[in-house]
């Protein structure tokens, strides 16, 4: 395999020579794909390149503090224009990025660069830089900027730190490495607006959402036999809460609960389904989720089954 420095050199050369560049963040964008793509956007803009920043879905407004938040476009028409280089960030496949169909329309003659940290990656690029040892694609971009002597200003530092924090759950999850903590420190020293990241991505829960979390907290049960903590939400508990918000509750419970290896959150849907979300420290919950027709990662997985939740004196039970 080619060395990191060699591939970094090839990417640097391709981007430096390019006049028109298309940068792609994956659909349903998270902090990492946004941080990696918007920092690259800022660097290329400083070189007076013609840069387009595309994402199939508009970034959520919690990322409004990112310097280039307003530069993202979801207009598929940008794929009808010619580019010298196209870069896809944080995506194992073009389908995951949400551009597998758009990309077929691109006028020929571009070089496709794939920058990612997921172990499973299709290597769909002309240049592939896949580094699973990195916590995040933003960490890879930090290493890239550093290796090429690119100045990391406060805006770039803020974007990259956003990505590292997102993928490591603020340097707390099991993916966190000494290197990611070291890089985070350097990004703060480069002027990353740490408090703004915390304010917008961590201290950002509305009172309405926290009330729902309150309901979930009041229903927590610890089953010592299976070493699992459970809670649930009924349709009647809320009017309009996004699944994303409930996922956030699972992550929150996982981050603060000291009892139990595994946390299971159940939520009724208006369509008569029950959505389950597992988080664990050690147990491989993807196996359990798969038994229930779902899937996911070892430590974060989910499923959906038909039914509803009935409250009984002995606790909640699932009925058809
Ligand atoms: Mn990532």
Asked whether the predicted pLDDT for residue 241 surpasses 70, the reply is no
The pLDDT of residue 239: 72
Ligand 1 centroid – CA 3 distance (Å): 22
Residue 26 CA to ligand 1 centre (angstroms): 10
Of these ranges, 150-154, 213-217, 233-237, 308-312, the one predicted with the greatest mean pLDDT is: 150-154
pLDDT of amino acid 313: 86
φ/ψ of residue 85, rounded to 5: -135, 140
**What's the 10 CA to ligand 1 centre distance in angstroms?**
22
> Where does residue 315 fall: left (phi above 0), alpha (psi -120 to 50 degrees), or beta otherwise?
left
pTM for the structure as a whole: 0.85
pLDDT above 90: residue 143: yes
Q: How far is the CA of 141 from the centre of ligand 1 (A)?
A: 11
* Architecture of the domain made up of 207-319: Roll (3.10)
Rounded to the nearest angstrom, the distance between the alpha carbon of 115 and the centre of ligand 1 is 10
User: Model confidence over 186-230: pLDDT tens digits?
Assistant: 999 999 999 999 999 888 888 888 888 899 999 999 999 999 999
Distance 253 CA to ligand 1 centre (A): 22
How far apart are the CA of 307 and the centre of ligand 1, in A? 34
Residue 289's pLDDT band (cuts 50, 70, 90): very high
Measured on CA atoms in the order 234, 235, 240, 243, is the torsion positive or negative? positive
Q: Where are the domains of the chain?
A: 4-201, 207-319
Distance between Cα 139 and ligand 1 center (Å): 9
Q: How far is the CA of 6 from the centre of ligand 1 (A)?
A: 22
Contact 114, 37 (CB under 8 A): no
Q: Which CATH class is domain 4-201?
A: alpha beta
Distance 164 CA to ligand 1 centre (A): 8
Q: What is the pLDDT of residues 68-114, one digit of tens each?
A: 899 999 999 999 999 999 999 999 999 999 999 999 999 999 999 99
What's the pLDDT at 243? 67
Percent of the chain with pLDDT over 70: 98
CA of 161 from ligand 1 middle (Å) equals 12
| Residues 191, 161: Cα–Cα separation, whole Å | 10
């Amino acid at each position: 395999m080619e060395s990191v420095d060699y591939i970094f050199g090839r990417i640097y050369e391709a981007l430096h020579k390019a006049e028109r560049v298309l940068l792609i963040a994956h659909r349903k964008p998270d902090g990492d794909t946004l941080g990696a793509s918007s920092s690259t956007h800022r660097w290329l803009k400083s070189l007076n390149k013609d840069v387009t920043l595309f994402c199939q879905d508009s970034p959520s407004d919690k990322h409004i503090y990112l310097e280039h938040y307003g530069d993202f476009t979801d207009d598929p028409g940008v794929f009808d224009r010619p580019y010298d280089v196209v870069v896809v960030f944080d995506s194992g496949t073009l389908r995951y990025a949400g551009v597998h169909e758009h990309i077929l329309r691109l006028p020929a003659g571009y070089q496709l660069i794939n920058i990612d940290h997921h172990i499973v990656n299709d290597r769909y690029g002309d240049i592939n830089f896949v580094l699973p040892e990195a916590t995040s694609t933003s960490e890879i971009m930090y290493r890239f900027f550093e290796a090429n002597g690119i100045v990391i200003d406060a805006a770039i530092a803020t974007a990259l730190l956003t990505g590292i924090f997102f993928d490591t759950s603020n340097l707390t999850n099991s993916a966190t490495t000494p290197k990611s903590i070291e890089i985070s420190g350097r990004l703060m020293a480069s002027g990353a607006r740490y408090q703004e990241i915390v304010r917008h991505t961590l201290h950002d829960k509305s009172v309405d959402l926290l009330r729902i979390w309150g309901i979930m907290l009041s229903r927590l049960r610890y089953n010592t036999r299976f070493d699992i903590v459970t809670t649930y939400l009924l349709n009647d508990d809320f009017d309009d809460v996004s699944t994303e918000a409930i996922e956030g509750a699972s992550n929150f419970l996982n981050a603060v609960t000291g009892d139990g290896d595994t946390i299971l959150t159940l939520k009724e849907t208006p369509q008569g389904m029950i959505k389950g979300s597992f988080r664990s420290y050690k147990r491989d919950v993807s196996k359990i989720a798969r038994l229930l027709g779902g899937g996911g990662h070892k430590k974060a997985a989910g499923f959906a089954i038909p039914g509803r939740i009935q409250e009984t004196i002995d606790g909640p039970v699932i009925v058809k």
